[in-house]
Amino acid sequence: MHAPSDHPEPRRACPGEYPMWDQALALLNRDLAATLPEQEPLQLLVLPPYASDQPENVYVALSNGEWHGNCLNPHGAEADDPASALAIVADAAQETVSERLWQAWPVCAEHGLGMHPRDTDGQLSWWCAGERLRRGPAHVRAAVGALDTLVRPGRPNGKSRPGS
Ligand SMILES: [Zn+2]
């Protein structure tokens, strides 16, 4: 039991405490730096459990400690494998950024539309509805974590995708 004076304060997760979420968030932070360079990196913020038999509550928060949406679940799919972790951390990051900063994020520079994370051929990518509005196919802007390769064309991605 905590003493009443032990007021629960949010704390930043230590590096390596949630390594799979660290890795996922690093990719999202690359995209954040590429699209909103004035924003400090997102962080994993840990709040104490509501009850002693509950896990800690981990949120994807802005650098100022604000977040929006659900916490990450240490016993959920996001703790099982890297792909699920990336998908769920991407959702959480998008929700926090768009709701706390009051803007769609990330935005497709080609169409000016907010994009959504989607699994394409096993890789989580930012998907934009822009081409579909012109009766074209759905268009994938870039892999999550690779938006910076678009704004800095001097740095090729290296990962070429055959076909399509
Ligand atoms: Zn687009």
Identify the band that residue 151 occupies on the pLDDT scale cut at 50, 70 and 90. low
All residues at 6 or more sequence positions from 71 whose CB lies less than 8 Å from its CB, including other chains? 47, 57, 58, 59
Q: Token pair 């590429």 is at which residue?
A: 34
145 Cα: distance to centroid of ligand 1 (angstroms): 16
In Å, what is the CA distance from 34 to each residue of 11, 19, 54, 123? 26, 23, 37, 19
Confidence check: pLDDT of 164 > 50: no
Whole-model pTM: value is: 0.83
50 Cα: distance to centroid of ligand 1 (angstroms): 41
For every residue of 70-85, DSSP letters joined together read PPB-TTSGGGT-HHHH
Confidence check: pLDDT of 158 > 80: no
Confidence check: pLDDT of 32 > 50: yes
Identify the band that residue 14 occupies on the pLDDT scale cut at 50, 70 and 90. very high
Identify whether the C-beta of residue 24 lies closer than 8 Å to the C-beta of residue 85: yes
Q: What is the pLDDT of residue 2?
A: 46
Q: Give the span between the Cα atoms of 78 and 84, in whole angstroms.
A: 5
64 Cα: distance to centroid of ligand 1 (angstroms): 30
139 or 102, which is more confident = 102
Q: What is the mean pLDDT of residues 11-18?
A: 93
Q: Which helix (H) or strand (E) holds 43?
A: strand 43-47
Instruction: Please provide the average confidence, as pLDDT, over all residues in the chain.
Output: 86
127 Cα: distance to centroid of ligand 1 (angstroms): 8
112 Cα: distance to centroid of ligand 1 (angstroms): 7
146 Cα: distance to centroid of ligand 1 (angstroms): 15
Structure confidence by residue, pLDDT tens digits, 70-114: 999 888 878 889 999 999 999 999 999 999 999 999 999 989 999
Q: What is the pLDDT of residue 59?
A: 97
45 Cα: distance to centroid of ligand 1 (angstroms): 32
138 Cα: distance to centroid of ligand 1 (angstroms): 9
